[in-house]
Amino acid sequence: MSLKLKKYDITKERLPQHIAIIMDGNGRWAKGRNLPRIEGHRQGVKRTRQIVRTCGKLGVDYLTIFAFSIENWRRPTKEVNFLMHLFKEVIRDQVPDLVKNNVRMRFIGRLGRIPEDVMEVMRWGEETTKDCGGLTLLVAISYGGRSEIVDAVKKIINNGVPSDKIDEKTFCKFLYAPDVPFPDLLIRTSGEYRVSNFLTYQTAYTELWITKTLWPDFTPSLLLKAISDYQKRERRFGEV
């Protein structure tokens, strides 16, 4: 890995603490090969495993992946059911590997919509990996950035927080993962120039990196290229 860091002119000291990824293009990848969409999702999972391992080896602290948006519930029932089954399968298969590599798994989103059998496996995954102290992998499932903001407002109201006590610091305490720093780098595959309702509040000053590569073709080398480009940027956060 050190040789690759040198090749891409990456310094460990300036690694993004938190990387977020919109893993887009599974369906188009399958269509381009005359395969069913579900095969694209399977290939996407294989790529996700590889990228998670790479982030862990690099020393990235947090990785948030957009696995299933709240809008995805509108997809055909057959595809949604397949994805729910796939989530269960992947969690069961990958948790031992996550533990081995010291990766903690967490889930964010409107989880009340997730079928109970899937939630049971998700809770098991979180519990089994809770003491892992390396990379924290946040899986956004049944997630929408606007929904998260609405849910935060509801929690603030339900907790009786006076309006004159609400500021950005207070608001952030009611987000899905209030202990997690905002993303430094947001990667989007498939060439679309939008953030698609992902981490809407958290990405105000996040650096964006977009590639036309579809997610199943997104290699660790492209991840290193994204990090290299990120390290060449000057982050001013609105200052001069």
Strand order across the beta sheet in which 185-188 lies = 104-108, 136-143, 62-69, 18-22, 185-188, 207-210
d(CA 218, CA 208): 16
Residue with tokens 């990667």: 187
Backbone angles phi, psi at 178, to 5 degrees: -65, -20
Joined tokens for residue 173: 């305490």
From the list 72, 101, 151, 217, the catalytic residue is: 72
- DSSP SS3 for 161: coil
Taking a C-beta distance cutoff of 8 angstroms, is the pair 62, 106 a contact? no
Joined tokens for residue 135: 């990379």
d(CA 65, CA 109): 12
26 is catalytic: no
CB burial string 145-161: b at 16+ within 10 A, e below: bebbeebbeeebeeeee
Crossing angle for the helix pair 220-231 and 37-58, nearest 10 degrees?
Answer: 50
Identity at 18, one-letter amino acid code: H
Taking a C-beta distance cutoff of 8 angstroms, is the pair 128, 161 a contact? no
Residue with tokens 């602290």: 61
The count of other CB atoms within 10 Å of the CB of residue 126 is: 16
34 is catalytic: no
Name the residues annotated as catalytic: 24, 72
